Amino acid sequence: NAGVTQTPKFRILKIGQSMTLQCTQDMNHNYMYWYRQDPGMGLKLIYYSVGAGITDKGEVPNGYNVSRSTTEDFPLRLELAAPSQTSVYFCASSYKGRGTEAFFGQGTRLTVV
């Protein structure tokens, strides 16, 4: 049981480049989330999904896009990377229902230069 798997672990992008951060979970969770963590800050929600085909914006969605075509996968797309997107990105998933915890992936450290 792998849990939540994120790839890649590290990436350096040049300003203006695009990339997709991959996230997959094998726990059959309905809910999936993307967070970013900046130094000294908590995790800020970028986008989330409550099921296949349903996504919605979180607190900091600008510059990102997501899709959820299957229950397992929730990729995060960065278009036109900017230095402000330098951060550590975490994908998470949780069961459908109230009062359940989220399970996190290992994170992707992204640097935009």
Partner 1 sequence: DQQVKQNSPSLSVQEGRISILNCDYTNSMFDYFLWYKKYPAEGPTFLISISSIKDKNEDGRFTVFLNKSAKHLSLHIVPSQPGDSAVYFCAASAWDNYGQNFVFGPGTRLSVLP
Binding stretches for partner 1 (CB under 8 A): 4, 6, 30-31, 33, 35, 40-45, 48, 50, 54, 56, 58, 90, 92, 94, 96-107
Shortest reach from residue 11's CB to partner 1, in Å:
15
Shortest reach from residue 18's CB to partner 1, in Å:
24
Of the pair 50, 80, the CB lying nearest partner 1 is at 50
CB atoms near residue 48 (< 10 Å)? 21
Of the pair 14, 40, the CB lying nearest partner 1 is at 40
Shortest reach from residue 107's CB to partner 1, in Å:
5
Q: Where are the beta strands (DSSP E) in the chain?
A: 4-7, 10-13, 19-25, 31-37, 43-51, 54-57, 64-66, 76-78, 87-94, 102-104, 108-112
β-strand pairing of 43-51 with 102-104: unpaired
